[in-house]
Amino acid sequence: MVISVHIPKTAGTTFRELLANCFGDDLCLFYGGWRDRHLAPMVQPPSSLRCIHGHFHARDFEAPFPDARRIVWLRDPVERVCSEYEHHCRHRDPQNPLSTLVGVGAGLLEFAEHREARNTQSRVLQGLAIDDFAFVGISELFDAELARLRIATGIGLPSGHRVNANPARRTTRYPLAADHYRTVLRLNRDDHELYLAAMDATACRGGERRLRVFVTGSQARDAAQAVA
């Protein structure tokens, strides 16, 4: 059994489609309730269930599937918050408090200060360590990480597939003023530490040392000041 935890804006939608092609009807999704691989609602998963993917906390299926292999993708926390904010600017969901906040005109910093937008990745992992997962991927290196996923889990997925990306984005990183960057990073101190730990673990398990490129230069200095 594979449990794939989809943290918002960490390439989880792309990964969901790849898993659907790989597992077929043996994949069930959980987004506020059970869904089949086409997102159609269902009462309960089939007996042939081999993989669960969706928005839930990392320990949610621990009791029924104690031996399941967990998978999760992480992302630079500042980039993830910016991406989630932009997502809610494009897609409004009246049931989502963050979307409602954006809908009444909240800017990025007001959005980032909301408790539901802070340290999302750490909260979803519920205190589990990197080593408690069969695979922790870095979403900025999604295609390259798929090779490591195959080695770690035996799940072979094709590269080159991407969905749900910001269509208006023209740069590799979201352009933020230095003070805004420091503020968002300070609000996500736990996620920052988790992300760095994941990058270190990835490097030790055969990933490329160039992962550190995501916190180099001026942003690395900002990061050091923000979390000090």
Structural domain harbouring 142: 2-227
> Is the model's pLDDT at 153 over the cut of 80?
yes
Phi-psi region of 64 (alpha: psi -120 to 50; beta: other; left: phi over 0): alpha
pLDDT digits (tens, 9 = 90+) for 99-146: 999 999 999 999 999 999 999 999 999 999 999 999 999 999 999 999
**If pLDDT is split at 50, 70 and 90, which confidence band does 162 have?**
confident
- Residue 212 near residue 177, CB atoms below 8 Å: no
Greatest CA span in the chain, whole angstroms? 52
pLDDT at 182: 96
Q: How many domains does the chain have?
A: 1
Instruction: Give 72's strand partners.
Output: 5, 136
- Residue 37 near residue 29, CB atoms below 8 Å: yes
Q: In what order do the strands lie in the sheet with 135-138?
A: 34-35, 27-31, 51-55, 2-5, 69-74, 135-138
pTM, full prediction: 0.86
pLDDT digits (tens, 9 = 90+) for 57-98: 999 999 999 999 999 999 999 999 999 999 999 988 988 999
The CATH number of the domain holding residue 208 is 3.40.50
Among the listed residues 17, 8, 9, the one whose alpha carbon sits nearest the alpha carbon of residue 161: 17
Angstrom distance (rounded) from CA 14 to CA 197 = 24
